A and B are shown apart, each in its own frame.
Chain A
Amino acid sequence: MDAFLHQIFSGLANGCIYGSVGLGLVMIYQATHHINFAQGEMATFSTFIAWALIQSGWPYWAAFFVTVAISFIAGLVIQRIILRPVEKSPVLTNVIVFIGLLVIFNSMAGWIFDHTIKSFPSPFAQKGMLVTPWFSAHEVGSALVMLAVLFALYAFFRFTPIGLAMRAAAQNPDSARLVGIRVSWMLAMGWGLAAAIGSVAGMMVAPVVFLDPNMMGGILLYGFAAALLGGIDNPGGAVIGGFIVGVLENLLGAYVIGTELKLSVALVLIVGTLTLKPDGLFGKQVVTRV
């Protein structure tokens, strides 16, 4: 029983990681109706920037917030400069641009920071007050951080004028323009926010999985699964989706099918769930009028 509980808790901890990546994906989707394949690599690159700052002596939290700010600006700039030209192009053209960004970020990270793994510090003291028998201090800390981000996002979209404007711009760009919302800038802000969330995710993940250019490669699929399982337009759903994916992954591997077929079973699960609930567990059903 002990081991079983432990697997679940470990799954929840992993789920935090997946959920935070999923949050970034949902963010971009809500703002632009595209799925950003480069989300993982951008997060990794941001984490490298933070690492470089810490290496040159900056205290952790200073590096943390500066990295978030830099990532926000970078996301904004990328949308304005690189994505603007293909805004009106078909979906798949945008997908290819995202793939281009993915390989560029991955390659640049490897070139600038090289491929050996680096350790990234955790701000949550190993033996501090957050330690519990089931979770390490860092796991608790990063869960709290992610929830904080989630609530901040919720508050931002619900209660601030800019948040409202962004939601309007994504839902109905033409009407939004008619009421004076600068839709292009809303898209750019969406990217900025997603990049910022991604950098937070990266900095929370790196102490666990260690930092190298391919850090997010394996995690991205699980982030996707988390976002889609929870409904691609629902940030809370992404977090819950993350927990579900994390726990299921652990339980499947440990008790059901063994580690050698884990991915196949995960595939069947994802497909099965989506077949039963095509808009994700918590997604809004999209009805198209004929």
Chain B
Amino acid sequence: MSKVRFSSKRLLLTLMLCACSVILLQNYDISQNSSFVFNLLCMLCGLAVCFALFVPSIIIKKRTNLDFLTVAHTVTPKLKIPIAVLYSLYFVWAAEFFLLPYTDMFSKKYYSDVTPCLIALILLSACVYAALKGVNVITRFGIFLFVFALLTNILMFGGSTGTLDFELYGFEISGNLNDFIQNTVYFIIPAFIVTLFACLSGKTKNFRLRQPLFALLVTGVKYGLIMFFIWFSLGDYASKQEYQTFILARAARIGFFGGIESLYLALATMSVFMIISLVLCAVTKSAGRESDIKYVVIFAVIIFAAHMCGSYLNSVKEIFTNNYIFAVFTVITAAVIPSMYIFAGRKSNARKALHSINMS
């Protein structure tokens, strides 16, 4: 595994792609009763909360130039195991949060004959390989994925402009408190990248405040565009089917050229692949065994087993894919616990320990 420090810009680009992929697997998470402008406002609130959740990790990074897990292990070595357990649980949960809808989408939209567990098995095998290579290599892969995502989005949005209809649907604001809570909670989900950043930013250099801000901004733009096109190009048609972004890709046509849902499938697949690879890197780091093949395989097997339970037991699936539970868990791991360490890290013995790690 490479030991050199890599650019923080690249890590944030990769995390931005992970955040953008949240809406690719969106399935009735955004309220069907509220209007486009209302949803847009909810999105802005949600992303503002995401940026607020970024603050503790940014402070730790700026102060120590280390990731949160290293700081936690150094400042409170006795809490190493509880922290490891908590974050391992979170990351396994995060993996299921994306894997279950992905395999569900694949099975319902593309190929109903194949069992979702097979998809998960092959995808996890590929993710194990990527996780063993390390975060640096995954962020390099992110550059290619960024170019591909740009191309796919251009084709998807370009192909949907022909069916935009502003007569049927307008820019009114309509929605209630429940819709606001539902939507805002959904738009807090991208904050999982904050936890990833907190755990994986140890080997980055040249971190700037504008990087996470820019990442969330671009994420917001992408969300806004997708919601815009779903609302004005698909209209009520979208509410009849699951996975609206898939439908948007399906409906997009440039002249007589269609088939953009194949690009959507590729983008969704590569995004989930990247997310789970980063999750495996982070979970082994939280267990103190970064890129150790044994631990990567163990956690991949745990994720696979959890996926099998989720596939066959609806109650398990509902727990894993519950936006509220995941959002609360994300807030705790992304902001609450790192905030405690901001104050704990000020103690002189902690400062000394951190300084010696930095020097080495």
A binds B: no
- Which A residues lie at the B interface, using CB under 8 A? none
- Which B residues lie at the A interface, using CB under 8 A? none
